[in-house]
Amino acid sequence: MSTAVALPAEITGAGRRRRRGSWLISACLVVVGVVVVMAVFGSAIAPQDPNAQNTFFILARPSGAHWLGTDSLGRDVFSRLIAGARTAFLGPLVIAASSMLLGNLLGLLAGYRGGRTDALIMRWVDLMWAVPGLLLIIVVAGALGSGYWLAVGLLIVLTVPFDTRVVRGVTLEQAPRPYVEAARTLGVPDWRIMLFHIWPNVSPVAIANAFLVFAGSLTSLAGLSFLGLGVAPGTPDWGLMLSEGLQDLFVNPIAVLAPGVMIVLTATSMNLIGDWLQERLSSKGAAR
Amino acid sequence: MTASTTGTVSTADPVLDVTGLRVTRARPGGGADTIVSSVSMSLGAGETIGIVGESGSGKSMTAKAITGLLPPGLTAHGEVRYGGRNLLELREKQWRAVRGREIGMILQDPFTMLNPVVRCGQIIAESLPGEARRAGRAQRRAEVARRLAEVGIRDESVAHRYPFQLSGGMRQRVAIAAALARDPRVLIADEPSTALDVATQREILALIQQIQRAHGMSVIMITHDLRVAFAVCERVYVLYAGSLVEAAPAAELRDEPLHPYSQGLLLSEPPAGHRVRELAVIPGSVPSPDQVAGSCTFAPRCAWAAPQCRQGTPPLAEVELPGVVPGRLSACVRLPEIRAEMMLARERAGREQHQAVAGRAETALISVRDARKVFQQGSRAVTALDGVSLDVGDGESVGIVGESGSGKTTLARLLIGLERATEGQVTIDGIPATDWPALSGGDRRRLRGTVQIVFQDPYSSLNPMRSIGWTLAEAITTHDRRARNVPARVGDLLASVGLPASYAQRKPFALSGGERQRVAIARALAVRPRLLICDEPVSALDVSVQAQILNLLTALRAERRIGYLFITHDLSIVRQITDYLYVMRHGRVVESGPTEGVLTSPRDAYTIKLIESVPGRQALTPRSATTSRE
Amino acid sequence: MTARGWAFFLARRLAVLALLLVVVSFAVFSLLYLSPGSVIDTLLGTNPRTPAELSYLTSEYHLNQPFLTQYWIWASQAVRLHFGNSIQTSLPVTSEIRQRLPVSLFLGVYAYILTVLLGVGLGIAAALRRQRLADRGIVGAAIVALSTPAFVSGVFLIYLLGIQVRLFPVAGPGTGFFGELWHLTLPAVALALTATAYLVKHTRAAVIGVLDQDYVTFARARGLTASRVLTGYILRNALIPVVTMSGLILSYVITGAVLVEDTFSLPGIGQLLVQSATAKDLPLIQGVAMVIAVVIVLANLLADVALMAVDPRIRLGRGSR
């Protein structure tokens, strides 16, 4: 087909979808942008000190002074919400990035090399596959003591198998293709093939996956803090705020619901961005 | 029962009458793309008609429109008259009474057509008419066995097996039995043999004919292969870019095509019987129907195009010229003027060219001795190559012919270092090449610079995420690390395969299949090899594009004096391109010799069977007075 | 597959899983030694550090023996479901677990049933109305549900349905079957939400994948009824990836249970685990961890068996003629 007509329907379709759904993606990007700003600047932009307690003013309803009211120790919920963005963003970022790096490397190796390398890596992946990560962390936290960065480290270990499996799947599809074999017959070294030939075809899935991992880690870390096994008590953190305010749900529900809404909003935005990226990136190469 | 064999069409009471069929696809942003712009045809009782077209012609969609099975987003307009009503107006519930009962259809790929989790017997049982289905178990089983026997399966255990346990040919037979379970009056066969081996193809086509005669069915055969149409059909409709360009009785069409496209299609296929100097080629590639709306669809590629061809869509009209039987239709407005020229072009293209075949070279560039390759699949050992010996001299063009499973691809991979022989010796340019990893880096480089390969599937031969220029540049620099002026060399490579230098910026998805294959050839040539292994390089391409690539390969050989090891299952192609031939079967060489000699006077029974399986080579049943070579 | 074949398969799988349990038990046991501070201190917890206490602990936990012997003793007792006594309550671990297990099981099964019914049902509905409003709505809801961890959805459910509209109770497990059912509805829904979302996505993708297949077109071409096509073709084939996912679904349900039990004050295994982790009650942690490991292993085995039953290609091996 001549070039003018060769644009597959996927591209025009995606373009249209992009135009239609772009308001949604823009909204997600705005949400994420706001969270990033909150994470970076934290208490600097909060109207009040997130840790300042005020025993005269506990569990107050939203008002002019406290936009979202106060919690059981009189702290301003809105400021704590802003400060809490840091723990909500930093940990998941580290997890997503590290897991992507390690997972992609292992996945490429396993899918391209095959044989014993693959068998070894997949044994480990299968082992970790059915393990409920959160429980593992709880058990380990019980032995070693809880902590935010410990949880981050453990989550990295738990998420790498997931990334590996996904990347290995795509690599397995690509590796037997003639363009890879042609590169081999031309004498292109294996490492170059993996990084410069196969990975560009894997990248849409890998990058989209990173966003999904981010969203998942966000909820996992918040869950751990909720249980008291994540951040140290007293730290502004969305998950911890939820558990702190739970018993006072009747008095100032906002103190509990607001952090919950933030968690859902951020995670949803990241999930949507991840899905959207995958569509866009894979239609750029527009294989048949 | 059968329509007359002289080719007059029975327009009296056609069973199926299609008028002005149009298929459009709704575009997401509004508006519609045309898939089929206009098709009109009629099918008589007991008649077999063929719809011939390349990819992009719209033939499959025509079939799906007739059965109301268009994918979501596509709509059919026009009239399809059957049993006194317009099928296109039917609602889904009404369709269910028509499909299977009146009009049956078999699809192209037997490997995906059958439900993988249901046993074959059940697939047939569920297709039986209501009363038979509700009958007792024993009766049902007997009926299923009867249906299987009708398609040539006498082994009762097949009914208990799952599709994945059967071969492609068997699956196709089961599918045919299922499609015919309700005794439809019309059967639409969409490329029923394309995915199969040549020998199996022939069997399936013969089976369809046999069933047709037994049931008095009418058959619409959809194919891209004119030879298949000529062998099986009484009347042929040629479809191009969504509209019909010609309709004629099969024999008449073969003897004298009355449209430049039909002629081009006919001539693109290398003649089975002899070699020609150069294949007649249709330049360019198939456009989409919308691109050529409002003019003759073939005009952009036609050697005889004139301004009048672009003024409105020419209708498919009856040809009234001396020597032409009545009932022939053509959409070429210039036909009366160019008829004589077309005849001349045909003669010229068909002229035999005798190639003086030199004796075989003394020293072989490639020498294979008793190569064996055994693959371990779990507990089973599969022998792909079983003692193959082969020689290819410098600059020679050698062909390897065989069906799937013959080991020809494994042999190619052996020569290129992608596989290692279990036993035997391979020598390339004096270097022992049996075990590539054991060689020194320098030796390996030399081997790579000597032999390169072009693969079959142009759609996955190029990295979809990289531009053409990047791929070619990498080919150049990997082999020659000190290469200078790479962009210029990339441009040269593109030019040598007939592509403009601007293509270097494009990504593969923007290129057609033929163009991608050219790039693949250019990539292989980047290291300036002395031998090019071509593993089925044209079987995934349209016929009209095949000829372009074959001509390119012939030209390259003359220019650069490189040799070919041409692997294919298609005997006409191998005759066109190669001087020496090896015939392989089940991992062994069963016959070898000069191509012309092997194909004209084959000695081995398998070679004979292969030659006879070429459609049209031996007519399945006498189709017209002029054909049969029984 | 023959009965003998089945027996071999099961035996092989059980052997692998038994090995897995051994590895897990070893890891769980070693936790005691990994925790900071001396083993004795960990075991003491908040109890007074008297010589009597110390000698009791040393003999009870065989702390004078080499590591592997200790493991062996521990393991042989664990197999008989003796995990020692909880440090906090001094009660046998086994009885603590036995007390809490029923609630968690009820909750888990309830949530699992909800997940499968809703997940598969909505997934199929979305796939059949592809690109239309219903599909988009379901997919959108699924994405939000995916991003809502069980404790957040629990809190929201409490607020909306427990406080604003006093429809459901917000704490405690209730008594009697229907009492439990009533009390555990909100927790089960909260628990099922995430897993349902995953199942919806995967089922939808699986059904869409099947709808595009040639064999569905061929079935329609033969005039088979819509219901036959739906059940025999679409569902049958879409079931395969769904069953493959069931191990993961179980993972989500178990994980979520921990969060949900805390939110709704349900005295279940999950809450027990969290309490023991917070209090560093090692014997209890070990006991609960092993019980959960066994449950997961068994469930995965069931999933494997189900997959073999559903996909004849796996059962009979590809390419067997």
Contacts of A250 in chain C (CB under 8 A): 163
Rounded to whole angstroms, how far apart are CA atoms C217 and B90? 18
Residue pair B242/B35 in contact (Cβ under 8 Å)? The answer is yes
Residue pair B359/B598 in contact (Cβ under 8 Å)? The answer is no
**What are residue B38's DSSP bridge partners?**
B243
Nearest to C312 among B96, B162, B175 (CB): B162
Residue where a domain terminates, one of C29, C48, C79:
C79
Q: Do C206 and C301 belong together in one domain? A: yes
Q: Output the pLDDT for position B40.
A: 92
Contacts of B166 in chain C (CB under 8 A): 321
Mean pLDDT of chain C: 81
Q: Which helix (H) or strand (E) is B103 found in, with range?
A: strand B103-106
Nearest to B115 among C233, C310, C319 (CB): C233
Residue pair B582/B360 in contact (Cβ under 8 Å)? The answer is no
- Residue A9 reports pLDDT greater than 50: no
Shortest CA distance to B375 belongs to which of B416, B409, B419?
B419
- On whether residue C163 sits in a domain, the answer given is yes
Domain of residue C279, CATH code: 1.10.3720.10
pLDDT band at residue B476 using 50, 70 and 90 as cut-offs: very high
Q: Output the pLDDT for position C60.
A: 74
Contacts of C318 in chain B (CB under 8 A): 164
Looking at residue C161, the DSSP 8-state letter turns out to be: I
Nearest to B100 among C130, C223, C319 (CB): C223
Looking at residue B563, the DSSP 8-state letter turns out to be: E
Residue where a domain terminates, one of C79, C105, C121:
C79
Chain A: residue whose CA lies nearest to C294? A131
Whether residue C218 and residue B164 make contact (CB cut-off 8 A), yes or no, is: no
Chain B residue set in contact with C, beta carbons under 8 Å: 64, 67, 69, 72, 92, 96-101, 104-109, 112-118, 126-127, 162, 164-167, 175, 178-179, 181-182, 377
Q: Output the pLDDT for position C255.
A: 81
Nearest to A178 among B460, B475, B511 (CB): B460
Those residues with Cβ within 8 angstroms of residue C181's Cβ, 6 or more apart along the chain or in another chain? C110, C174
Contacts of C190 in chain A (CB under 8 A): none
CA distances from C244 to B90, C13, C238, C303 (A): 40, 16, 11, 7
Rounded to whole angstroms, how far apart are CA atoms B64 and A195? 43
| Token pair belonging to B506 | 């494009």
Smallest Cα distance from C5 to chain B, Å: 16
Q: Do C32 and C106 belong together in one domain? A: no
CA distances from B300 to A227, A265, B600, C199 (A): 72, 55, 39, 52
Tracing tokens 């011939």 back to the chain, one arrives at B52
Average pLDDT for residues B321-336, to the nearest whole number?
Answer: 89
pLDDT band at residue B259 using 50, 70 and 90 as cut-offs: very high
Residue pair C186/C170 in contact (Cβ under 8 Å)? The answer is yes
Q: Do C72 and C112 belong together in one domain? A: no
Nearest to A226 among C36, C151, C285 (CB): C151
End-to-end CA distance of chain B: 24
| Token pair belonging to C313 | 């290609």
Residue pair B372/B386 in contact (Cβ under 8 Å)? The answer is yes
- Residue B12 reports pLDDT greater than 70: no
- On whether residue C282 sits in a domain, the answer given is yes
Q: Do C101 and C71 belong together in one domain? A: no
Whether residue B512 and residue A184 make contact (CB cut-off 8 A), yes or no, is: no
Q: Output the pLDDT for position A283.
A: 67
Those residues with Cβ within 8 angstroms of residue A151's Cβ, 6 or more apart along the chain or in another chain? A91, A137, A141, A220, A221, A224, A229, A230
Q: Do C21 and C125 belong together in one domain? A: no
Nearest to B99 among C220, C233, C316 (CB): C220
Q: Measured between CB atoms, does C175 come within 8 Å of chain B?
A: no
For B489-502, how does the pLDDT look when each residue is reduced to its tens digit (9 = 90+)?
A: 999 999 999 999 99
Mean pLDDT of chain B: 87
Strands B364-377 and B32-43: unpaired
- On whether residue C236 sits in a domain, the answer given is yes
pLDDT band at residue C48 using 50, 70 and 90 as cut-offs: confident
**Class of residue B136 by CB neighbours under 10 A (exposed 0-12, middle 13-18, buried 19+):** exposed
B397-401: strand order across its sheet? B451-454, B531-535, B563-568, B397-401, B580-585, B588-594
Average pLDDT for residues A78-98, to the nearest whole number?
Answer: 91
Shortest CA distance to C101 belongs to which of C87, C121, C81?
C81
Query: Between C86 and B23, where is the model more confident?
Result: B23
Average pLDDT for residues C211-232, to the nearest whole number?
Answer: 87
CB pairs under 8 A between B and C: 87
Strands B74-82 and B235-240: unpaired
Q: Measured between CB atoms, does C132 come within 8 Å of chain B?
A: no
Q: Do C50 and C127 belong together in one domain? A: no
- Residue B112 reports pLDDT greater than 60: yes
Q: Measured between CB atoms, does C204 come within 8 Å of chain A?
A: no
Q: Do C130 and C245 belong together in one domain? A: yes
Contacts of C296 in chain A (CB under 8 A): 130-132
Q: CB C156: neighbour CB atoms within 10 A?
A: 18
Whether residue B106 and residue C218 make contact (CB cut-off 8 A), yes or no, is: yes
| Token pair belonging to B170 | 């068997």
Nearest to A12 among B27, B418, B455 (CB): B27
Q: SS3 for B296-328, per residue? A: CCCHHHCCCCCHHHHCCCCCCEECCCCCCCCCC
Nearest to A260 among C152, C251, C281 (CB): C152
Residue where a domain terminates, one of C21, C54, C79:
C79
Q: Measured between CB atoms, does C139 come within 8 Å of chain A?
A: no
Q: Do C63 and C119 belong together in one domain? A: no
Residue pair B424/B374 in contact (Cβ under 8 Å)? The answer is no
For C117-160, how does the pLDDT look when each residue is reduced to its tens digit (9 = 90+)?
A: 899 889 988 988 887 888 889 999 999 998 999 889 988 888 88
CB pairs under 8 A between A and C: 133
Rounded to whole angstroms, how far apart are CA atoms A253 and A141? 30
% of chain A exceeding 90 in pLDDT? 33
Shortest CA distance to B401 belongs to which of B540, B598, B551?
B598
- Residue A287 reports pLDDT greater than 70: no
Contacts of C271 in chain A (CB under 8 A): none
Whether residue C148 and residue A243 make contact (CB cut-off 8 A), yes or no, is: no
Q: Output the pLDDT for position C131.
A: 77
Strands (E), B143-254: 186-190, 218-223, 235-240, 243-249
Identity at B64, one-letter amino acid code: K
Q: Which helix (H) or strand (E) is A199 found in, with range?
A: helix A199-227
Q: Measured between CB atoms, does A55 come within 8 Å of chain B?
A: no
- Residue B5 reports pLDDT greater than 50: no
Residue pair A271/A211 in contact (Cβ under 8 Å)? The answer is yes
Q: Do C136 and C285 belong together in one domain? A: yes
**Class of residue C76 by CB neighbours under 10 A (exposed 0-12, middle 13-18, buried 19+):** exposed
- Residue B625 reports pLDDT greater than 50: no
Q: Output the pLDDT for position B83.
A: 87
Q: Structurally, how many domains does chain C consist of?
A: 2
Identity at C1, one-letter amino acid code: M
Q: Do C129 and C32 belong together in one domain? A: no
- On whether residue C90 sits in a domain, the answer given is no
Q: Of the ranges A77-91, A197-211, B4-18, B375-389, which one carries the lowest mean pLDDT score?
A: B4-18
**What are residue B188's DSSP bridge partners?**
B105, B220
- Residue B409 reports pLDDT greater than 60: yes
- Residue B334 reports pLDDT greater than 60: yes
Whether residue C158 and residue A139 make contact (CB cut-off 8 A), yes or no, is: no
Q: Of the ranges A211-215, B1-5, B350-354, which one carries the lowest mean pLDDT score?
A: B1-5
- Residue B59 reports pLDDT greater than 70: yes
Q: Measured between CB atoms, does C249 come within 8 Å of chain A?
A: no
Smallest Cα distance from A203 to chain C, Å: 21
Shortest CA distance to A236 belongs to which of A88, A107, A14?
A88
Whether residue B56 and residue A1 make contact (CB cut-off 8 A), yes or no, is: yes
Residue pair A61/A239 in contact (Cβ under 8 Å)? The answer is no
- On whether residue C85 sits in a domain, the answer given is no
Looking at residue B290, the DSSP 8-state letter turns out to be: G
- On whether residue C89 sits in a domain, the answer given is no
| Token pair belonging to C306 | 């189900």
- On whether residue C226 sits in a domain, the answer given is yes
Nearest to A139 among C31, C163, C251 (CB): C31
Which chains neighbour C (Cβ–Cβ under 8 Å, 3 or more pairs)?
A, B
Q: Do C197 and C289 belong together in one domain? A: yes
Chain A: residue whose CA lies nearest to C19? A127
Residue pair B35/B208 in contact (Cβ under 8 Å)? The answer is no
Rounded to whole angstroms, how far apart are CA atoms B590 and B406? 11
Shortest CA distance to B513 belongs to which of B563, B461, B466, B475?
B461
Strands B451-454 and B218-223: unpaired
Smallest Cα distance from B466 to chain A, Å: 8
Rounded to whole angstroms, how far apart are CA atoms B309 and B300? 10
pLDDT band at residue A16 using 50, 70 and 90 as cut-offs: very low
Q: Measured between CB atoms, does C227 come within 8 Å of chain B?
A: no
Q: Which helix (H) or strand (E) is C102 found in, with range?
A: helix C93-128
Q: Measured between CB atoms, does C76 come within 8 Å of chain B?
A: no
Tracing tokens 């909260």 back to the chain, one arrives at C190
Chain C: residue whose CA lies nearest to B377? C319
Determine the distance from the C-alpha atom of residue B83 to the mean position of all C-alpha atoms in its chain, rounded to a whole number: 34
Q: Output the pLDDT for position B628.
A: 36
Q: CB A33: neighbour CB atoms within 10 A?
A: 11
Contacts of C219 in chain B (CB under 8 A): 115
- Phi-psi region for residue C59, left (φ > 0), alpha (ψ -120 to 50) or beta? alpha
Nearest to A1 among B27, B285, B474 (CB): B285
Q: Of the ranges A47-56, B114-123, B310-319, B330-339, which one carries the lowest mean pLDDT score?
A: A47-56
Shortest CA distance to B614 belongs to which of B253, B255, B168, B271?
B271
Handedness of CA C255, C258, C261, C263 (dihedral sign): negative
Rounded to whole angstroms, how far apart are CA atoms B492 and B147? 60
Domain residues for C59?
3-79
- On whether residue C86 sits in a domain, the answer given is no
Whether residue C148 and residue A267 make contact (CB cut-off 8 A), yes or no, is: yes
Q: Measured between CB atoms, does C32 come within 8 Å of chain A?
A: yes
Name the range with the highest mean pLDDT among A11-20, B74-83, C87-96, C281-290. Answer: B74-83
Q: CB B323: neighbour CB atoms within 10 A?
A: 6
Q: Do C242 and C279 belong together in one domain? A: yes
Query: Between A219 and A140, where is the model more confident?
Result: A219
Average pLDDT for residues B562-584, to the nearest whole number?
Answer: 90
CB pairs under 8 A between A and B: 100
Q: Output the pLDDT for position A12.
A: 37
